[in-house]
Amino acid sequence: MTSHTLPDNPLILVTGATGYIGGRLIPQLLSAGCRVRALVRDPARLQGRPWVDQVDVVAANVLTADTLPPAMEGVDAAYYLIHSMSGSTNFQQRDMVAARNFGEAARAANVKRIIYLGGLGDPDSDLSEHLRSRQKTGEALRESGVPVTEFRAGVIVGSGSISFEMIRYLTERIPIMICPTWVYTRIQPIGIVDTLNYLVAALTTPESAGQIVEIGGQDVITYREMMLGYARARGLRRFLIPVPILTPRLSSYWVHWITPIPSDIARPLIEGLRNEVIVRDPRATALFPSIHPLDYATIVRDALQHLDASEVETSWSDALVSSARDREPTVLTTHEGMLLEQRQRVVHASPETTLRAVSGLGGGRGWPALSWAWWLRGVLDRMVGGVGFRRGRRHADDLRVGDALDFWRVEAIEPHLLRLRAEMKVPGRAWLQFKVEPLEGGNTNLIQTAFFAPKGLFGFLYWYALYPIHGLVFSRLIRELAGWAERLAQR
């Protein structure tokens, strides 16, 4: 027993609960018998998670120190799973402020442990700015005096992870790839299951307190070998041709157009690949002898099986910063200057069936009216650096608050309503809402409303210039959705 040993049934605080790692870690902690508190900026974004009723949800922001004490009250150990992904110039300063706020609040609340997932890389080498910031975040957390277990991982591979999605789209779509030099850098990818195993095991391994633990999978390979390994798993023939001219900036634009990942998120990922990210310290084996990381081929097979079965628990695009950067979530309000385009239609189906049909929009099913227009809007958005139309959706049928849906984000989903917030580039803020009202005879009144809050004169010009096109698209959209619902009711 040491002072770092946690009590039975500990209270665990998890940050980043709306993100890829945090959203998968919470159910693992619940299964391990922990009480869990989720720290999020917007609790509404956890709606629809199967575990949300089993956790204590607290609204707080690590960049605002005075919001943290209530979240820390009574906490035994805290997971810090927050880092910047966008290419903003002040991301390092924000990372440091957030980590110091968190560490100081943890110390004041007598939290026994902080567990942090950082970035792998030789600190004595010329690390990229983002990898350097990941490691400095660990240092900032340690400044608090609270014992920190810092795991350092490289490329994390799993269904829905940003690294796996980049590999998947590049390999699926391009049979002959012109590859820059970063695809030949050695890396040690680790599967999401092994990553979660380490994170959970740290709670019952007091010897890991105060340690920096490097973790990776069985194989040390290159990004080129990762893509070819994916191609083998899918039965694809792919050819990679090396060229010395593609800089990280140019490579990020290439990824921007081929994959759903925007260039300003792809760029820090690619810049990090100039560094070898391999395990140099065997400490993980000594501290966690029962964990035997998988090889890359097995990791890819597992990820593909989850995709085929539509069992993607979380996706990289779940995190708000994947599209909205670090802005606070916006909430739809009716105020002076809001422009509306509303249509109604009687649907010969129940409200439940109608909303189920509406909730099937996007992704593989596409948009039922003038699909070329939606596609073109996505292309134009990518041209100006937006998220575009390639993110699809996490699940073909299930939607929950916070899900990405093509270039929209699910802002609200209720028994009578679905509201989507636009994340494409627009001069203002925009929403698309569907509401169902019961009628006599088991029918439904479907109300479709487009809301737009213009920003400045250009916002008004944008709305009125596109109004004829919007009128055509939205009139057909509600008509086709009604048809979807009626066919679904007949089945």
For 411, the domain range is: 336-490
Tokens standing for residue 41: 């900026």
Question: Which 3 state secondary structure label does DSSP give 182?
Answer: helix
User: In this model, does residue 291 exceed pLDDT 90?
Assistant: yes
User: In this model, does residue 245 exceed pLDDT 50?
Assistant: yes
Q: How far apart are CA 207 and CA 193, in angstroms?
A: 22
pLDDT confidence of 317, banded at 50, 70, 90? Answer: low
- Residue 248's pLDDT is 64
**Is there a domain that residue 38 lies in?**
yes
User: In this model, does residue 97 exceed pLDDT 90?
Assistant: yes
- Residue 55's pLDDT is 95
User: In this model, does residue 190 exceed pLDDT 90?
Assistant: yes
- Residue 327's pLDDT is 40
- On whether both 274 and 381 belong to a single domain, the answer is no
Q: Which of 13-17, 123-127, 160-164, 175-179 has the highest mean pLDDT?
A: 13-17
pLDDT confidence of 308, banded at 50, 70, 90? Answer: low
Last residue of a domain, one of 258, 285, 318: 318
- On whether both 135 and 218 belong to a single domain, the answer is yes
Q: Which of 27-36, 254-263, 310-319, 331-340 has the highest mean pLDDT?
A: 27-36
DSSP secondary structure, 320-379, as one string? THHHHTTPPPP-----TT-EEEEEEEEESS-HHHHHHHHTT-SGGG--SS-HHHHHHHHH
- On whether both 287 and 347 belong to a single domain, the answer is no
User: If phi over 0 gives left and psi between -120 and 50 gives alpha, with beta otherwise, what is residue 310?
Assistant: left
| Helix-, strand-, coil-residue percentages of the chain, each rounded to 5 | 45, 20, 35
Tokens standing for residue 363: 């992704």
Strand order in the sheet with 408-414: 339-347, 444-454, 428-438, 417-422, 408-414, 404-405
**Is there a domain that residue 273 lies in?**
yes
Query: What would the mean pLDDT of 254-265 be, rounded to a whole number?
Result: 70
User: In this model, does residue 145 exceed pLDDT 60?
Assistant: yes
From 40-44, 45-49, 246-250, 407-411, the region with the lowest mean pLDDT: 246-250
What proportion of the chain, given as a percentage, has pLDDT over 70?
Answer: 87
- Residue 246's pLDDT is 62
**Is there a domain that residue 331 lies in?**
no
Phi/psi for 439 (5° steps) reads: -120, 170
Query: What would the mean pLDDT of 214-224 be, rounded to a whole number?
Result: 93
- On whether both 345 and 412 belong to a single domain, the answer is yes
- Residue 305's pLDDT is 82
Which position has the higher pLDDT, 314 or 430? 430
pLDDT confidence of 321, banded at 50, 70, 90? Answer: very low
pLDDT digits (tens, 9 = 90+) for 347-400: 999 999 999 999 999 888 888 877 777 778 888 887 887 777 667 788 888 888
User: In this model, does residue 200 exceed pLDDT 90?
Assistant: yes
**Is there a domain that residue 153 lies in?**
yes
User: If phi over 0 gives left and psi between -120 and 50 gives alpha, with beta otherwise, what is residue 30?
Assistant: alpha
- On whether both 30 and 71 belong to a single domain, the answer is yes
Last residue of a domain, one of 285, 318, 351: 318
User: Are the beta carbons of 78 and 144 closer than 8 angstroms?
Assistant: no
Question: Which 3 state secondary structure label does DSSP give 179?
Answer: strand
pLDDT confidence of 313, banded at 50, 70, 90? Answer: low
Tokens standing for residue 358: 């509406």
From 47-51, 206-210, 265-269, the region with the lowest mean pLDDT: 265-269
User: Are the beta carbons of 78 and 115 closer than 8 angstroms?
Assistant: yes
Q: Which of 92-96, 403-407, 417-421 has the highest mean pLDDT?
A: 417-421
Last residue of a domain, one of 255, 284, 318: 318
User: In this model, does residue 93 exceed pLDDT 90?
Assistant: no
- On whether both 458 and 484 belong to a single domain, the answer is yes
User: Are the beta carbons of 197 and 117 closer than 8 angstroms?
Assistant: no
CATH number at residue 426: 3.30.530.20
From 83-92, 172-181, 307-316, the region with the lowest mean pLDDT: 307-316
Which single residue is written with the structure tokens 């270039």? 407
- Residue 209's pLDDT is 95
- On whether both 237 and 382 belong to a single domain, the answer is no
**Is there a domain that residue 382 lies in?**
yes
**Is there a domain that residue 5 lies in?**
no
- On whether both 51 and 115 belong to a single domain, the answer is yes
- Residue 330's pLDDT is 38
- Residue 295's pLDDT is 95
- On whether both 131 and 27 belong to a single domain, the answer is yes
Which single residue is written with the structure tokens 């990405």? 404
Q: How far apart are CA 1 and CA 206, in angstroms?
A: 8
Question: What is the overall mean pLDDT for the chain?
Answer: 84
- Residue 338's pLDDT is 66
User: In this model, does residue 309 exceed pLDDT 60?
Assistant: no
CATH number at residue 206: 3.40.50.720
Q: How many CA atoms lie less than 13 Å away from 89 in the CB half-sphere?
A: 0
pLDDT digits (tens, 9 = 90+) for 322-336: 444 444 333 333 334
- On whether both 153 and 264 belong to a single domain, the answer is yes
**Is there a domain that residue 2 lies in?**
no
- On whether both 307 and 385 belong to a single domain, the answer is no
pLDDT confidence of 83, banded at 50, 70, 90? Answer: confident
**Is there a domain that residue 483 lies in?**
yes
- On whether both 216 and 254 belong to a single domain, the answer is yes
- Residue 4's pLDDT is 66
Total domains present in the chain: 2
Which position has the higher pLDDT, 391 or 486? 486
- Residue 86's pLDDT is 54
pLDDT digits (tens, 9 = 90+) for 28-37: 999 999 999 9
- Residue 241's pLDDT is 84
